[in-house]
Amino acid sequence: MNLPVRKLTISIVSHGQSHLISNLLHDLAKLRGESFEVILTINIPENELLYQDFKFPLRIIRNNYPKGFGENHNVAFEQSTADYFSVVNPDIRIASLNIAALTEPFKSGNVGAVAPLVLSPEGKIEDSARQFPTIPKLLKRILLGIRKSEYELKSEPLQVDWVAGMFIVFDRRVFQAVGGFDSDRFFMYYEDVDICRRIGIKGWKVIVNPSVSVVHLAQRASRKNLRHMRWHIVSAFRFLTGL
């Protein structure tokens, strides 16, 4: 039997984060009149009781071994059926989601990826849209703690270099055309920077659409976990050097 075509596929990956994801799924369950499906990847074994009894289409992929960010979402993309494919982190909360408003920029025909405005729990705008990193910029962030926003986000959609992978919506055809995330070079971190750069090289725009917002309960794993910090450093090196 053919599955019905959905407007938006939401791909979520769990690393034993069932309580965070349960909150996100309950947010989605409150949406009315929206056409979407959820593909949830269980990256490590966990209790799945919190994922039951949702009325929207929810499919679960169970990994035999942990995979990286890009590989997990690439696999989910291959199983998706929607016009638009979105990657959403477990620590995102959604009070409302107007899919038509969020995806409006795609109507221009030259947009490859769109992200909503990302807010902190206190309502402050996070620096989720940035210019491409350079060695001087990274040194300022790491050594001097300079993390000021590189774009002034107002009410109108704005073209940016790249948007953070906590919530990105891709045109399905564009995601396919660029080959998805580069899971060979990036296990975790910088997949978002890399795919946005490749989208731009192909001539499509990356847009932040402030008319739609989400809340990010930032986990900041790379600042607390040495393994995550190592992945972050290795990924940054690969992006900057092209290796």
Share of the chain above pLDDT 90, in %: 68
Kindly state the average pLDDT of the residues 2-21.
84
Q: Return all residues near 88 (Cβ < 8 A) that are at least 6 apart.
A: 10, 11, 12, 24, 166, 167
Provide mean pLDDT across the span 186-198.
90
Q: Spell out the long-range contacts of 222-228 with Cβ–Cβ below 8 A and sequence spacing 24 or more.
A: 222/189, 228/188, 228/189
Q: Which of 40, 62, 65 minimizes the C-alpha distance to 52?
A: 40
Residue ranges of domains in the chain, CATH in brackets = 8-133+149-220 (3.90.550.10)
Say whether pLDDT at 61 is over 80: yes
pLDDT tens-place string over residues 203-231: 999 999 999 999 999 765 545 566 767 76
Alpha-carbon distances of 183 from 19, 152, 163, 199, rounded to whole Å: 27, 31, 18, 16
Question: What are the structure tokens assigned to 145, written together?
Answer: 């703690």
* Region 17-23 average pLDDT: 95
